[in-house]
Amino acid sequence: MTDRVHAMRVFIRVVDTNSFSRAAESLGMPRATVSTTIQQLEALLGVQLLARTTRRLNLTAEGAACYERCVRILADIDDLESGFHGREDRLRGRLRIEMPDTVATSLVVPALPDFHARYPHIELSIGVSNRAVDLVGEGVDCSVQLGELPDSGLIARRLGSFEHVTCATPAYLEAHGTPKTLDDLAHHVAVNCVSIRTGRPCDFDFEVDGEAVAVKMAGFVQVTDEHAYLACGLQGLGLIQPPRIAALPYLRSGELREVLPQWKSMPMNVSVAFVKTRQAAPRVSAFVDWLAELFERTQEMDDTLTRLFRTARRPAAASSASARPVQPVPATRDSREEDTHEDEETTSES
């Protein structure tokens, strides 16, 4: 039994690293031993698990099915063993997590040293993307998801919400003027972020009298990547509406300036979802609890810093306004009521 469990762990590591050499190095084993272990597992199961070429490894259909089963079996074994250890060693094993780029880079990755200090025996495998994830089919323990969750039979826990901020570079605003009303947006261009789900550019969205208002923006650049979206905005290519948590460092440094602060975007819900059968796994619960604590702590801190930042800028903004007259732009855009379609990826859904 022990040898089979060991063989499954070796197999999973080979697949995860896509290399016999990297798997051997991470496991502290000779490469020849890793190769022999995989061959013995294939002989035991009577199927070929990996298609080997000189350049890469490919899972066979049987290998893909075996991988998902091995992940679940080893998770159950780890949970069984953890129940008989002391409290300090109870949480152990491997977690596969998927999350959007903004959540990973702005929140989770900077806080990972804290998680590791608390749970040193939990190994994290984090996938970063905005794609829809099949938790069951892909053997993922939990995923962080933005917006409304589909009715998929998953267990979901709300973590918080993201506020988007409308902003641009000082150079762009100097050249094109600062919009004072939503109608003024008709005279501006934006960097358009294309929804992965729909393939359409996401409208800018605002909360007006408690209702969501979508504003279509003209522009000459469309991107699908969040980093590229923010980078284009920082190059002065137009207005952008990124999550505030991603834009906050640039707002604080002055590289970006918030516009239309009186019209906030509709908040976008952030949730963590996991499969019902994995609800009781101690390490999953530990990660979800830590993630909820992280969101709460981060949002409290950002709310405080944002209030201080805005308060500090008011005197400077007032002085600048008195020194330089603002030329009003006629409010000609009155057609936003015609925009009745709803984009599944816009934050107005949340």
Q: What is the DSSP string of 67-79?
A: HHHHHHHHHHHHH
State how far the Cα of 299 lies from the Cα of 121, in Å rounded to an integer: 28
DSSP 2-24: HHHHHHHHHHHHHHHHT-HHHHH
How many other C-beta atoms are found inside a 10 Å radius of the C-beta of residue 88?
8
Flag whether pLDDT at 142 surpasses 70: yes
Q: CATH 1.10.10.10 occupies which residues in the chain?
A: 1-82
290 and 160 in contact (C-beta within 8 Å)? Answer: no
Element (H, E) at 218: strand 218-223
Cβ 155 vs Cβ 274: under 8 Å: yes
Residues in the chain: 350
Please tell me the least confidently modeled range out of 190-194, 209-213, 319-323: 319-323
Asked whether the predicted pLDDT for residue 75 surpasses 70, the reply is: yes
Closest CA relative to residue 146, chosen from 104, 110, 205: 104
Is pTM beyond 0.85? Reply is: no
How many CB atoms are located within 10 Å of the residue 219 CB?
18
What pLDDT, on a 0 to 100 scale, did the predictor assign at position 279? 43
Q: What is the pLDDT of residue 27?
A: 79
In degrees rounded to 5, what are phi and psi of residue 213?
-120, 120
pLDDT score of 311: 60
Domain 167-267+318-349 indexed as CATH 3.40.190.10: yes
Say if CB 165 and CB 251 are below 8 A apart: yes
Give backbone dihedrals phi and psi of 261, rounded to 5 degrees, phi first: -65, -20
Residue 224, pLDDT above cutoff 70? yes
Instruction: Kindly give, in sequence order, each residue whose CB lies less than 8 Å from that of residue 340, ignoring residues fewer than 6 positions away.
Output: none
Distance CA 267, CA 161 (A): 6
Percent of the chain with pLDDT over 70: 77
Share of the chain above pLDDT 90, in %: 42
Instruction: Please give the Cα distance from 198 to 349 (Å, whole number).
Output: 14
pLDDT(144) > 90: yes
- 349 or 169: which leads in pLDDT: 169
Q: What CA–CA distances, in Å, run from 234 to 172, 193, 249, 274, 303? A: 10, 14, 12, 36, 23
Q: What is the mean pLDDT of residues 176-200?
A: 91
Place of tokens 């008011």: 314
Asked if residue 273 lies in contact with residue 142, where contact means CB atoms within 8 angstroms, the answer is yes
Q: Which helix (H) or strand (E) holds 158?
A: strand 155-162
299 band by pLDDT with thresholds 50, 70 and 90: confident
pLDDT attached to residue 302 = 59
Does residue 100 contact residue 130 with C-beta atoms inside 8 Å? yes
Q: For residues 118 and 87, is the Cβ–Cβ distance under 8 A?
A: no
Q: CA angle 284-288-293, nearest 5°?
A: 150
CATH code of the region 1-82: 1.10.10.10
List the single range of 139-143, 194-198, 307-311, 320-324 with lowest mean pLDDT.
320-324
- Distance, in Å, from the CA atom of 120 to the CA atom of 92, rounded to the nearest integer, reads 8
Q: What residues pair up with 161 in beta bridges, in sequence order?
A: 269
Reported as a pLDDT band with limits 50, 70 and 90, residue 341 is very low
> Where does CATH 3.40.190.10 sit in the chain?
167-267+318-349
Distance (Å, rounded) from C-alpha 114 to C-alpha 13? 25
Tokens 């084993």 label which residue?
29
Task: Provide the pLDDT for residue 340.
Answer: 37
**DSSP conformational letter for 206:** E
267 secondary structure, DSSP code: P
- Segment among 197-201, 247-251, 270-274 with least mean pLDDT: 197-201
Q: What was the pLDDT predicted at 343?
A: 40
Q: What is the DSSP string of 269-329?
A: EEEEEE-GGGTT-HHHHHHHHHHHHHHHHHHHHHHHHHHHHHHHHHHHHHHHHHHS-----
**Higher-scoring residue by pLDDT: 72, 153:** 72
Beta bridge partners of 57: 52
The per-residue pLDDT for 275 is 75
- C-beta separation of 130 from 268 below 8 A: no
